[in-house]
Structure 1
Amino acid sequence: MVFLVGLIVVITALHYFTGTEKVHVHDIYRRLYYLPIILGGLWFMLKGGMATAIVISIIYAPHVLFQWGHHPGSQPEQYLEILIYNVIGFITGFLTQRERLQKTRYQQTAERLEESYIKLREQADQILEIEDQLRRADRLSALGELSAELAHEIRNPLGSISGTAEILQDGMDPTDRRYEFAAILLKEVARLNAVVENFLQFARPERSDRGAFMPSEVLQEVFTLIEGQARKSGVRLSLEEGAAEILGDRDQIKQACLNLVLNAVQAMPGGGTLSVAQQRDGKFLCLKFRDNGPGIAAADLERIFAPFFTTRADGVGLGLAITQRIVRRNGGEIRVESRPGEGTTFSLCLPLADSSSNP
């Protein structure tokens, strides 16, 4: 502000103390007035631009009226310059004010998005705590209902953010870069909503309750849960019984098996066969999930367990990543073999309960 006032004072002094015979010098001084006018508009928006232009007009007008009175031919040009001062002040201030309003709207949208991320973390902590309390219950059905409620609560702020972004996008020129930024924001909100949906469905607690159990019983429970969906897709389920026990967290292994069975059924929408066999491999028991679906491309096999990698249009890509984490947490490993057009086999290998190498 001080700089702006000082600049106006200096330019005005140059006008008043320079003889009117130096016409070309005064022409330069008049152009110098544009500098404080533009700065006033940039710094203080519309009010600043107009106020600066009006002040300059008031203090410059007497100079034109009295000192240039003996040059009547020059006065019309100088009065026109005063008018242009005000036009420039208005345009600069108006454009700056509009840009700052747009910036404020974007900042508000970003703040809402940040609030959504914070709420997501809080809801994630809640679901992990609640899931831990339901470890001994039939958690799959209970967790499904809870996840639906939490997903609804999280979608509310995401919906607000999406709506705000759409409002900002309305009226913008598609060639405007800010239109592109709004489109990116809408796309990221949709992606976050999909991640929330997948996370609430598959998130598991970090602590394990390891013990010996029969994998055949777990697989039978999984088949019971999925048989309705498999029947609709025309997928036949086949389970090979076994007598060996494995060591691990029963509920976590059940979730891992459910993920693999769901993936296989979804990969065969036109029908097929999914069989699960048990095979000893040293101190491990391998559960082999074999389907005759379309298979997985060789280029995708290396990334199949990477978070957010998916080949389905409606997939998010967390199911296999979480399955791998569960298996490793329980001291096992998971492998995949696939031939395009012939099918895929996932081998879920876990420590045998009677192995001397058990932790």
Structure 2
Amino acid sequence: MPSILKANRLRLSIIAGLLLAVTAMHYLTTTQLVNAHDVYRRLYYVPIVLGGVWFALRGGIVTSILASLLYMPHVLFHWQHHPSIALEQYLEIVLYNVIGCLTGFLAERERQQKLRYQKTAETLEESYRKLREQADQIIEIEGQLRRADRLSALGELSAGMAHEIRNPLGSIKGTAEILRDGVAPDDPKLEFADILIKEVDRLNKVLEDFLRFARPEPVELGRFSPNKVIEEVLELTRQQALSNRVEVEVALAEDMEIPGRGEQIQQALLNLVLNALQVMPDGGQLKVSSTVRGNEVGIHVSDNGPGIAMEDRDRIFNPFVTTRDSGTGLGLAITQRIIQGHDGHIHLESTPGQGSSFTLCLPISMRDMETEKS
């Protein structure tokens, strides 16, 4: 804005300077130099045209009137003894105003047309932006549908395999426990029996993750307290945090109850907390907090572990993707499915070498799920 005002002042100064200069030449030049006055008379068109071009119709009219007022006394008092020349000069004054109006009118038309073109360009740009957003949304939805199809097929396959494997695992564990009971405490074979039972338990845990991911257990929709869920999860993981020498920091917002499946949210949060503890085996800091912003409750879990590499962030929530040798790659996939089932979303921030922060965003009002319950 200041630059525009500065430019307008400069233009006004140029127009005023030209008008005064031409007028001075008229008044200071003797009437005997008729040809010189003819040239001076036409020099008035320069500021008149500039006024119309720079300030549109108003500028053209004002400049032509000023030129007429400045030139009129010269005609009246210096050319009164030359009627034929004076008539020509009066016609020139009329032409000043015609040229001023015409130039200003054309400049105004050009300016309005330019504004229309700019508005059309802005409209087209906005339409293009919305089209790009819609195209991105369509691509994202198509990707989600393809992913959902793959997950559905994978889930059914995993569920079938898990059921087929789970039964013999129970028999193997029972047999191993019987064999262990028959081994003397100082027998070296006791260690192998313990290893067998431990590995059976680990495989059983993997199968439970498969089943939980493929067919989430239905839980009756109710209301739950996010703060209470946080406290219960931290109590469940307290011993592991102590073993890993992890300092736990808790900051809870005002307590409230929101609609949802509390047991599933507890499972989702437990997955995040366990992941955070597992990436800090030699100590660290775990921060768990809750916040309320607008129509959302946020549950935040952050650690100062190794962080997540940039190339892994886009696929970290895919099933069977893990950055640990002992992980199944289903924890975050299960967590995402649970949160999406509550009309929420997960936000991830991570800096390699500094740690990661996950936020579970849950709506305070869930109309679809409450309608489903009713």
Scaled by the length of structure 1, the TM-score of the pair is 0.46
**Higher helix residue share:** 2
- Bigger Rg over Cα: 2
Scaled by the length of structure 2, the TM-score of the pair is 0.44
